[in-house]
Amino acid sequence: MTATTDGSTGALPPRADSATETDEPLPVAAGPVGIRDAAERAMRRATDFLLAGQDAQGWWKGDLETNVTMDAEDLLLRQFLGIRDDKTTHAAALFIRGEQREDGTWATFYGGPGELSTTIEAYVALRLAGDAPDEPHMARASAWIREQGGIAASRVFTRIWLALFGWWRWEDLPELPPELIYFPKWMPLNIYDFGCWARQTIVPLTIVSAKRPVRPAPFPLEELHTDPSNPSPAREPAPVASWDGVFQRLDKALHHYRKVAPRRLRKAAMDAASRWIIERQENDGCWGGIQPPAVYSIIALHLLGYDLEHPVLREGIASLDRFAVWREDGARMIEACQSPVWDTCLATIALADAGVPADHPQLVKAADWMLGEEIARPGDWSVKRPQLPPGGWAFEFHNDNYPDIDDTAEVILALRRVRHHDPERLEQAIGRGVRWNLGMQSKNGAWGAFDVDNTSSFPNRLPFCDFGEVIDPPSADVTAHVVEMLAVEGLSHDPRTRRGIEWLLAEQESDGSWFGRWGVNYVYGTGSVVPALVAAGIPGSHPAIRRAVSWLEGVQNDDGGWGEDLRSYRYVQEWTGRGASTASQTAWALLALLAAEESESKAVERGIEFLARTQNDDGSWDEPHFTGTGFPWDFSINYHLYRQVFPLTALGRYVNGEPFAEAKGS
């Protein structure tokens, strides 16, 4: 057993663990011929399954599952606005109850430890739904919450939600002044120092922080305090000479400033912030295509006097309903985001690599849809790159302010696999995307997800920012996808591509792996980087590639698959490359090994056999484990289409060989 600092038991999984089991596993004959036959059958079945899941408009989208804070905060928002209804409440409570663990807690990922803030928010949501505090499931939750320090030990964002109803004092929260909107772009802690997701959340929260609204609480929450007579005990101050100490004193000064802030200046700042928010509302009424900024933007504008029938708020509230996934049992799950562009480009790549003809009608329809999603206007990225013409793709249905570098690279790779009826249109779109991606390269030669050189260390120091990543530095996985795309576009020897390659080689961990920022974790990073390096002309015999192969072979599970638990982000030594085997993570490892010309290796054969053996009869795979990452450790994602697209890609490359093999080193 490994004792973890959060009180959970972090037992390392045995190597034989498998996340997917079927009643009638596909028989696999021994030897390379039997493995290849099994791979071809699994590939055909997976191809049929994926083709059947395409929307009539040409896109694919799997559910994007996170944790119950999305559902709890949706109910709290509706309670705050006075629009909570019985049907929505019942359906949300049904889902939240179903996610509770036997010890009374809620986790942020499948099989993970109980998490305090998540458990508090889930508990409060169930109280809104009518669950009594003395019911057994509620009593277990509140007892665990008190054991962990109660509400006072929860993160700032949870306490903000509680402050909206008087369950926590605004005075005991960090100050976030709206005057922040006036900070010039060269000044530390200006809004563009934050990653786009944090920026879109913080701007409306400056208005909420300034207004400090309190709506009558429908019930007390004394049972969630360790000492109800002292619900907000003083916190241990940070050392005076530390950065944390500096920012604690800054927060104290901002609390004093609040008392003397000129009213005209404060009102002007809130007005400027509201204009900034409204300018960034998308055509579908949402903000940034993600739920948290939408929720806080609605609250902020409502506090400034926008009534619920105002077009901005009416469309904003309506957009939240599109994040709801209704299940057959009547439960309602809220997606934090939706991923149609990402899912569609990955599905297109998988199908093409599996041998679906380049002019297949469904691939052409997917290309048509992706071409229609190209972003043709500047967004917040242009603050750092004002002269760069627009181009590229976002993650969601509507998010024109925030195209992302990762999606753009993968969409280009997908479009290159399709024989389109309008090749000129396709070439022009690809050209704009390549130009935009190259223009978004950071000064160290690598790429972040949304912005250029978004690396300031100050935002993470703010007392307000105690949850998740708030900056967007370059990462190995995003950089790898861009390098792979540039290689396919014949730019392997471009100086900008070479700088990206040099950065990737320098970022390799001592054990041979690469860190995965947007997928779990070192298996994802390594599965992204190795194919990119090989595509760009780095030979399979290169020491970096050999170290990566050795690492992947060393962390392969006894069942032939690969897996990695989210705990690898926090407990690196114990959990790196360790976890129950999953279809998606097995595929990532195979993509790296196949790129490294290891197709005849025992490790590859065992990995392919795992995918064939664990496939369901309908061509799908089961995968309850979370293999996607929003914020490392803090916010995890189960992309429900990952278990389909990545195994199919790996099977296709095993059967048909590497795509664009002739372009390597061009």
Distance between CA atoms of residues 173 and 169, nearest Å: 7
Q: Could you give the angle at the alpha carbon of 551 between the alpha carbons of 550 and 555, nearest 5°?
A: 120
Q: Is 654 in a helix, a strand, or coil?
A: helix
CB hemisphere CA count around 610 (13 angstroms): 32
Distance of CA 315 to the CA centre of its chain: 25
- CA nearest to 331, candidates 69, 65, 96, 86: 96
Distance between CA atoms of residues 584 and 516, nearest Å: 14
Residue partners of 249: CB distance under 8 A and separation at least 6: none
- Owner of token pair 């504008």: 301
Taken in order 480, 483, 489, 492, the sign of the CA dihedral is: negative
Instruction: Write out the E strands in 450-564.
Output: none
| Token pair recorded at residue 115 | 């998490």
Contact status, residue 320 vs residue 295, Cβ threshold 8 Å: yes
Instruction: Write out the E strands in 347-469.
Output: none
User: Phi, psi at residue 192, to the nearest 5°?
Assistant: -85, 0
| Residue 494, phi-psi category: left (phi > 0), alpha (psi -120 to 50), beta (remainder) | beta
- The one-character DSSP state at 359 is T
Distance between CA atoms of residues 319 and 297, nearest Å: 12
Pairing mode, strands 64-65 and 635-639 = antiparallel
- Owner of token pair 């279809």: 583
| Token pair recorded at residue 442 | 């950071």
Query: 74, 343, 406, 451: which is the annotated catalytic residue?
Result: 406
429-433 contacts: CB < 8 A, separation 24 or more? 429/371, 429/374, 429/391, 430/489, 432/374, 432/389, 432/390, 432/391, 432/392, 433/374, 433/391, 433/392, 433/393, 433/408, 433/409
Cβ–Cβ contacts within 10 Å for residue 657, how many?
A: 11
Distance between CA atoms of residues 528 and 526, nearest Å: 5
| Token pair recorded at residue 286 | 């949402």
In the residue annotation, 406 being an active-site residue is answered as: yes
- The one-character DSSP state at 27 is P
Distance between CA atoms of residues 155 and 464, nearest Å: 9
| Token pair recorded at residue 353 | 């690599």
Distance between CA atoms of residues 438 and 412, nearest Å: 13
Strand partners for 326: 332
- The one-character DSSP state at 106 is -
DSSP per-residue string spanning 604-649: HHHHHHHHHHH--TTS-----S--EEEETTTEEEEETTHHHHHHHH
Distance between CA atoms of residues 62 and 430, nearest Å: 25
Contact status, residue 373 vs residue 283, Cβ threshold 8 Å: no
Distance between CA atoms of residues 394 and 280, nearest Å: 14
Catalytic residue positions, numbered: 406
